[in-house]
Chains A and B, each alone.
Chain A
Amino acid sequence: MKPALSVIFFTVSSGAGLGLAVWLLAMQLAGRVDASHRQFWLAFAVAALLVTAGLLSSTLHLANPRNAWRAFARFRSSWLSREGVLAVALYPIAALHAWLSVQQPDAARICGLLLIVLSLATVVCTAMIYACLKTVPRWRTWHTPVSYLLYALAAGGLIWNTISAFEGASLSTSGLVLWLAGVAALVKLLYFAKFSQRVHATLNQALAVPETAPAGRMQGKVRLLDAGHSRGTFLTDEFGFVLARSRARTLRLAMFVLTLPVPLVLLMLGSAGQGGALPIAAAALCFLAGVLLERWLFFAQAEHVVRLYHGQQRV
């Protein structure tokens, strides 16, 4: 699939914003932070900013954004619509939560719990936009929603850590964040192992020609002779992206390094009290860069089955 930057930024930015919201709300429920702390409002604003930037970025992908408001119509069948409905529903509830946190801290607990559930559900909906497609075997797997959740929560946790560090609060969440990053890396390794070979569909299946059949029926291996067009088409533009294997290896390695060892070392430096909040912020930025790379690979390496009709033997 074509790795469209607007969509990649959307999934990473709104994922990190929602992850940060979950950390903020969980800390509030645990009584570690409340509306009297500047940290609360900073995290609230950053989360809102990240989610909003992501949603705006997603509309850049539309060829006809004038009709974007119609995207809420089919929430009963479309994950894209569900994602839109939930993401937009978050705003009034978040505003209510902010008001309750100041006025009625007890009622804010219920609202906070609801927001946590909604935030997580929104991340799952974002992942399901991709995971529901039968046409892209590398997306239609449990790894997709699990990865989206883990990376969103880990990124949100690192941003929460950064805000805490700048406010001089304790970094009690670092351990859990690193665990999340570790599990995310493990899930990614399992994913790469599962899809190291193309075994999900063949050109023969796509054209309903059996490779072997009883005598009298057309049979044998199918090869493309001519795709019928001399230059690019919508289909080759959208689905024809090929990532060289050596480049994919380098990018995967960079992705793992940026999302696990580098943040680990930086967080250790930070907790040792060196450099103030800077190593903590650097850990968050490195991790976000790693997630952007992870998401870019998620698109660039996804193979749509229409590539079979354009001559690829397997996806």
Chain B
Amino acid sequence: MKLGLVIDLDVCVGCHACATACKEWNGESLMAGGAPDYDPQGAEPSGVWFNRVRHYEVGDYPANKTLNVPMSCMHCEDADCVTVCPTGASYKRAEDGIVLIDPEKCMGCNYCAWACPYGARELDRNEGVMRKCTLCVDRIYDQALPIAERQPACVLACPSHARHFGDFDDPASKVSTLSRERDGQPLFEKLGYRPVNRYLPPREPAQVPAPTDLAPRGSLQSKLAAMVNRLIQL
């Protein structure tokens, strides 16, 4: 199995529900070991997040668009974070490809975080060990949960259904199909880590003409518009 996420950038609204659901689940999780907050109500709030949402602008006005990009561990097939780990605390499971950290072995050298281009690993200052996304390994195999809930917390929480979880080794799975049909992209492919997660590119924004482009330059209408603009600004 090659478990991973598909994230649909066309419908992600950037609400951070996935990130907060991740905090809620993994903050208590024995498997992930916790995602602590430091000074959450204070002047300098900080903390460990396995999933962070950043907001970008693509293109120039009027052909521009907001791009909300949630990023967590990509569970890379060539995971350098595992290769560089000196203690053996970082490992990639053969059976499903999930990259995990054994906090009993981690010495907190930060080297794996240095090797990760995606910023997916963050140090737990309280315990002195590295933390990361487990793909909710303590949910997805839990026989006590209804089958529909055996998914990562971020996927269940997403209100716009921008997140999908499944097996990329199965060509008929939802994630494989979505990725195939919508040209799913790996992030930062150039580094050669072969990330598993795929990002579905957003559709091209509609070409909305800018108000100033409505009339041809030099025409009477555009001269009048320019004059009115100047008057307004006086």
**A residues with CB within 8 A of B:** 1, 61-68, 70-74, 77-81, 84, 129, 132-136, 201, 203, 205-209, 215-235, 238-239, 304-306, 309-310
Contacts of A81 in B (CB 8 A): 86-87
Nearest Cβ distance between residue B50 and chain A, in whole angstroms? 11
Of A70, A133, A233, which contacts B46 at CB under 8 A? Answer: A233
Determine the distance from Cα of A68 to Cα of B129 in the docked complex, in whole angstroms: 12
B83's nearest neighbour on chain A, judged by CB, is A77
Interface contact A80-B84, CB-CB below 8 Å: yes
Which of B134-142, B159-167, B196-204, B213-221 touches A?
Answer: B196-204
Determine the distance from Cα of A31 to Cα of B222 in the docked complex, in whole angstroms: 92
Nearest Cβ distance between residue A180 and chain B, in whole angstroms? 29
Determine the distance from Cα of A220 to Cα of B185 in the docked complex, in whole angstroms: 16
Nearest Cβ distance between residue B196 and chain A, in whole angstroms? 14
Interface contact B65-A218, CB-CB below 8 Å: yes
Determine the distance from Cα of A66 to Cα of B114 in the docked complex, in whole angstroms: 21
Nearest Cβ distance between residue B120 and chain A, in whole angstroms? 9
- Given A63-B128, A207-B187, A208-B189, decide whether A309 and B119 contact each other with a Cβ distance below 8 A: yes
- Given A78-B84, A306-B119, decide whether A218 and B204 contact each other with a Cβ distance below 8 A: yes
Contacts of A222 in B (CB 8 A): 56-58, 67
**B residues with CB within 8 A of A:** 16, 19, 44-49, 52-60, 63-67, 69, 71, 80, 82-89, 104-111, 113-119, 122-123, 125, 127-129, 185-193, 199, 201-205
Contacts of B55 in A (CB 8 A): 224-226, 228
Nearest Cβ distance between residue B119 and chain A, in whole angstroms? 4
B127's nearest neighbour on chain A, judged by CB, is A64
12 CB-based A-B contacts, threshold 8 Å: A63-B108, A68-B107, A73-B86, A78-B84, A78-B85, A135-B114, A209-B201, A215-B204, A216-B204, A222-B57, A225-B57, A231-B46
Interface contact A221-B59, CB-CB below 8 Å: yes
Nearest Cβ distance between residue A286 and chain B, in whole angstroms? 31
Interface contact B56-A234, CB-CB below 8 Å: no
Determine the distance from Cα of A201 to Cα of B117 in the docked complex, in whole angstroms: 11
Interface contact B86-A67, CB-CB below 8 Å: no
- Beyond A134-B191, A220-B60, A231-B45, 12 additional contacts (C-beta under 8 Å) are A67-B106, A68-B107, A80-B109, A80-B111, A201-B191, A206-B188, A208-B199, A218-B201, A219-B204, A222-B57, A226-B55, A306-B119
Interface contact A134-B56, CB-CB below 8 Å: no
Nearest Cβ distance between residue B42 and chain A, in whole angstroms? 10
Interface contact B49-A233, CB-CB below 8 Å: yes
Interface contact A70-B60, CB-CB below 8 Å: no
Nearest Cβ distance between residue B45 and chain A, in whole angstroms? 6
Determine the distance from Cα of A29 to Cα of B148 in the docked complex, in whole angstroms: 72
A61's nearest neighbour on chain B, judged by CB, is B109
Determine the distance from Cα of A254 to Cα of B80 in the docked complex, in whole angstroms: 36
Interface contact A74-B85, CB-CB below 8 Å: yes
Determine the distance from Cα of A187 to Cα of B190 in the docked complex, in whole angstroms: 27
Interface contact B86-A228, CB-CB below 8 Å: no
Determine the distance from Cα of A217 to Cα of B64 in the docked complex, in whole angstroms: 13
Nearest Cβ distance between residue A174 and chain B, in whole angstroms? 38
- Given A135-B115, A227-B54, A305-B117, decide whether A220 and B85 contact each other with a Cβ distance below 8 A: no
Determine the distance from Cα of A232 to Cα of B38 in the docked complex, in whole angstroms: 11
Determine the distance from Cα of A136 to Cα of B49 in the docked complex, in whole angstroms: 23
Determine the distance from Cα of A144 to Cα of B58 in the docked complex, in whole angstroms: 36
Interface contact B88-A205, CB-CB below 8 Å: no
- Given A74-B86, A134-B117, A227-B54, decide whether A63 and B44 contact each other with a Cβ distance below 8 A: no
Contacts of B115 in A (CB 8 A): 133-135
Nearest Cβ distance between residue B30 and chain A, in whole angstroms? 18
